[in-house]
């Protein structure tokens, strides 16, 4: 075998792994930017792209009433979502982008008095609304947390399940947020995406507010996560579940 095929194979390996040896002028390593900004973009997006997906604009607290709309149960059937996740008494759960607490308080009932739900949002107005409802409903196992664009501010290795309902596609820094969420999960903990199905053109949601399963799985590949399963039991959204790599201390293989 001559040197040409070997060189071609080596070059192919570099392309597959995404490695770049050095800048030809400075000899310094070249690193591609994680995010890209484009002038031509969807008006409902922010013009910032991650892995060829445009990040959507954040829904403001002024739209909190839309989260509580009566027709939501019929349109999205959230009553099917939580039973499918099989919460247990004593679970610690994080509702990222909790908004008005529409699902937060439902999960609080499922995890019981020995469990906890972190209601995480970056908008203080949403958290104020949750605090008021906690007081009105005499709920003690919900903890409001104000996160940032890059960090949900959760304790490390402390959470059994993190759920994001129609939220992840709005993260301004999806890589950094995912990295922080993975750190917050216990080994074997679950990271759950509930996203409007972009594969289905009949889902009446703006394009940048929908995601394909393929895109979600692509964006999770750099992280210490393993895809577990995808559930398509909801009329408009898919439920995409990942597990943090590593077994729980009392977990045995094959069980």
Q: What confidence score (pLDDT) does residue 234 get?
A: 96
Q: What confidence score (pLDDT) does residue 72 get?
A: 75
Buried b (16+ CB within 10 A) or exposed e, 105-124: bbbbebbeeebbbbbbbbbe
Residue 86 lies in a domain: yes
Residue 56 lies in a domain: no
Residue 213 lies in a domain: yes
Residue 81 lies in a domain: yes
Can you tell me which residue has the tokens 């939220």?
167
User: Domain range spanning residue 173?
Assistant: 61-244
Burial of 83 (0-12, 13-18, 19+ CB in 10 A): exposed
> 59: which DSSP letter?
P
Q: What confidence score (pLDDT) does residue 249 get?
A: 44
Q: What confidence score (pLDDT) does residue 71 get?
A: 78
Q: What confidence score (pLDDT) does residue 251 get?
A: 42
Instruction: Give the CATH number for residue 128.
Output: 3.40.50.150
Residue 35 lies in a domain: no
Q: What confidence score (pLDDT) does residue 8 get?
A: 43
> 19: which DSSP letter?
-
Q: What confidence score (pLDDT) does residue 31 get?
A: 75
Domain count, the chain: 1
pTM over 0.85: no
With beta carbons less than 8 A apart as the criterion, state whether 113 and 91 touch.
no
The C-alpha atoms of residue 122 and residue 107 are separated, in whole angstroms, by: 20
Residue 253 lies in a domain: no
Q: What confidence score (pLDDT) does residue 254 get?
A: 36
| Ranges under pLDDT 50 in the chain | 1-21, 249-255
Residue 152 lies in a domain: yes
Q: What confidence score (pLDDT) does residue 12 get?
A: 43
Residue 43 lies in a domain: no
């Amino acid at each position: 075998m001559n040197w040409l095929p070997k060189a071609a194979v080596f070059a192919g390996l570099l392309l597959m792994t995404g490695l770049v040896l050095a800048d030809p002028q400075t000899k310094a390593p070249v690193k591609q930017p994680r995010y890209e900004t484009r002038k031509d973009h969807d008006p409902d997006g922010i013009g910032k792209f991650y892995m060829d997906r445009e990040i959507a604009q954040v829904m403001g607290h002024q739209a909190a009433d839309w989260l509580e709309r009566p027709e939501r149960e019929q349109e999205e059937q959230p009553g099917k979502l939580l039973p499918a996740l099989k919460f247990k008494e004593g679970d610690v759960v994080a509702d990222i982008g909790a908004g008005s607490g529409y699902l937060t308080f439902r999960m609080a009932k499922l995890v019981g008095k020995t469990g906890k739900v972190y209601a995480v949002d970056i908008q203080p107005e949403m958290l104020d609304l949750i605090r008021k409802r906690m007081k009105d409903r005499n709920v003690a196992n919900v903890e409001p947390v104000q996160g940032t664009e890059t960090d949900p501010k959760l304790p490390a290795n402390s959470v059994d399940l993190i759920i994001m309902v129609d939220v992840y596609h709005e993260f301004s820094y999806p890589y950094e947020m995912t990295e922080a969420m993975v750190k917050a999960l216990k080994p074997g903990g679950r990271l759950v995406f509930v996203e409007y199905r972009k594969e289905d053109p009949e889902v009446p949601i703006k394009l940048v507010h929908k995601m394909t399963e393929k895109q979600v799985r692509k964006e999770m590949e750099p992280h210490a996560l393993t895809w577990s399963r995808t559930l398509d039991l909801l009329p408009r959204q898919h439920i995409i579940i990942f597990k943090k790599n590593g077994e729980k201390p009392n977990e045995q293989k094959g069980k």
